[in-house]
């Protein structure tokens, strides 16, 4: 999914029943890339070193993730830690802001009085860390290449209003990592279903580590595919 980026997520013909689609970050405009596929968890040996133009050599187009990767998370982690018990939500100028005291956890676009603020608050209360991949990318459309996710379960099983309308299923056993070529970056796909764009190979493989732990991709708020204030999250 930038800020808050769970941004969101789905391209290649799969859309969420959201006011704003969960096309994780601008994928529609990138879905015609023709780079080679790399199975999640397989080693990749680029044939060129220039950014965005590498051509990976997958060991097997049908290889699936195995071994200790099932418990891996991206390292080093880029996360914001907070206390879920002290979170509050405020609204101003078209956005809801979730804070732990003076510490901002996330900001998400919405309209005053809608469910977005309560959805974002309920989501944040479930965890203790809001994490990101690709926040340091230097692309012109930077937000499209930022992926956010959540870690450290708080034990608070909050109800997220309208949850079923925020999510779309995907097959986490069918993920591939693809170099789109032409400097357009990388993407993670479930068959033809593009889940998210990434700036480089490491970011894409880190994103796949997160995505393969879940089966549903969800997003809250935001005004478009590359909106930095669209919040992504994933469910079993």
Confidence of residue 221 (pLDDT cuts 50, 70, 90): confident
- The pLDDT assigned to 126 comes to 98
Model pLDDT for residues 90-107, shown as the tens digit of each residue: 999 999 999 999 889 999
Residue 8 has pLDDT above 80, yes or no: no
> Given this model, what pLDDT does residue 26 score?
39
pTM summary value: 0.69
pLDDT in tens, 20-78: 333 333 333 333 343 444 445 443 333 333 344 444 433 323 233 433 344 489 999 99
206 has pLDDT over 90: yes
The reported pLDDT for the residue numbered 130 is 97
Predicted confidence (pLDDT) per residue in 114-172, tens digit: 999 999 999 999 999 999 999 999 999 998 899 999 999 999 999 999 999 999 999 99
* Three-state SS sequence of the chain: CCCCCCCCECCCCCCCCCCCCCECCCHHHHCCCCCCEEECCCCCCCCCCCCCCCCCCCCCCCCCCCHHHHHCCCCCCEEEECCHHHEEEEEECCEEEEEECCEEEEEEECCCCCCHHHHHHHHHHCEEEEEEECCCCCCCCHHHHCEEEEEEECCCCCCCCCHHHHEEECCCCCEEEEECCCCCCEEEEECCEEEEEECCHHHHHHHHHHHCCCCEEEEECCCCCCCCCCEEEEEC
């Amino acid at each position: 999914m930038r800020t808050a980026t769970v941004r969101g997520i789905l391209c290649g013909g799969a859309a969420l029943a959201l006011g704003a689609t969960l096309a994780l970050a601008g994928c529609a405009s990138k879905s015609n890339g023709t780079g080679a596929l790399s199975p999640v968890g397989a080693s990749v040996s680029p044939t060129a070193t220039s950014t965005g133009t590498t051509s990976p050599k997958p060991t097997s187009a049908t290889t699936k993730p195995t071994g200790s990767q099932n418990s891996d998370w991206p390292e080093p982690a880029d996360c914001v830690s907070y206390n879920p018990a002290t979170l509050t939500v405020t609204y101003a100028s078209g956005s809801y802001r979730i804070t732990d005291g003076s510490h901002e956890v996330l900001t998400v676009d919405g309209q005053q009085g809608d469910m977005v603020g309560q959805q974002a608050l309920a989501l944040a209360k479930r965890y203790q860390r809001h994490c990101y991949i690709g926040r340091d990318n230097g692309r012109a459309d930077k937000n499209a290449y930022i992926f956010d996710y959540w870690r450290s379960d708080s034990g608070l099983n909050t109800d997220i209003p309208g949850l079923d309308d925020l999510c779309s299923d995907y097959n986490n056993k069918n993920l591939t990592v693809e170099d789109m070529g032409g400097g357009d970056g990388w993407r993670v796909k479930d068959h033809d279903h593009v889940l998210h764009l990434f700036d480089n190979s490491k970011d894409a493989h880190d994103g796949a580590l997160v995505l393969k732990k879940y089966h549903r991709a969800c997003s809250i708020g935001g005004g478009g595919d590359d909106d930095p204030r669209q919040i992504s999250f994933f469910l079993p």
